Amino acid sequence: MAVSVFGELLITAGLVLGLFVVYSLWWTNVVADREAHKQGDKVRDGWAQDKGGPGALDTKAGIGFLHVPSMKNGEVLVEKGTSTKVLNDGVAGYYTDPVKSSLPMTGKDGNFTLAAHRDGHGAKFHNIDKVRKGDAIVFETKDKWYVYKAYAILPETSKFNVKVLQSVPQQSGKKKPGQYITLTTCTPVYTSRYRYVVWGELERVEKVDSDRTPPKELR
């Protein structure tokens, strides 16, 4: 009898665990993608109505869209902050703490530092390991396309390593100020033990035309 009851408990526990995995890795993606699309539509509607002004640094819904073709994740809305509350909506967030991100719209040297989930809640950086040196990283704003080129990758580092976010990311090999972008997410897959980092450097800026024709890297 005891063995039978124990076996039933194990089966029940297995079912509960299975449902939790489905919720964590599938349903949270569905919910997050819906919210991200809704927020993204608000941003584009605002642009179409000429709200926020050219290169608006901060809007309630988001500041622009990240495009990384090698990740095959479509466009990713970028919002302010990297808290769980922000990232769980299926977006990427720019750091405000512990090191404040530079924003490309200012035109100043600095490091545009971003984070997004790798699994669950949209998993926008799930394929970050597919990014290779030389790959394009494009940030889209209302009036400009910022085209970066990936130049360095750190497959694993401590989650407490804030040096990767510095204005001049020396761990990437850079020694002088420039206009950089840094993508960060959890690693290994399905854990949050370490961080995976990709660095890029601004290659050029293109003005958005009336048709919003994307740069050649996105065609």
What does the block give as tokens for 68? 């990384």
DSSP 48-77: HTT-S-TT-S--SS-SEEEE-GGGT--EEE
Beta pairing partners, 113: 182
Sign of the dihedral defined by the CA atoms of residues 146, 151, 152, 155, in that order: positive
Could you tell me the CA-to-CA distances from 26 to 31, 56, 85, 122 in Å, in that order? 9, 34, 18, 9
Give the H/E segment covering residue 149.
Answer: strand 144-158
Phi/psi of residue 54, each to 5°? -60, 130
Which residue of the set 43, 114, 183, 186 is catalytic? 186
Whether 188 sits among the annotated catalytic residues: the reply is: no
Closest CA to 89 of 116, 53, 127: 116
Q: Which residues are catalytic?
A: 186
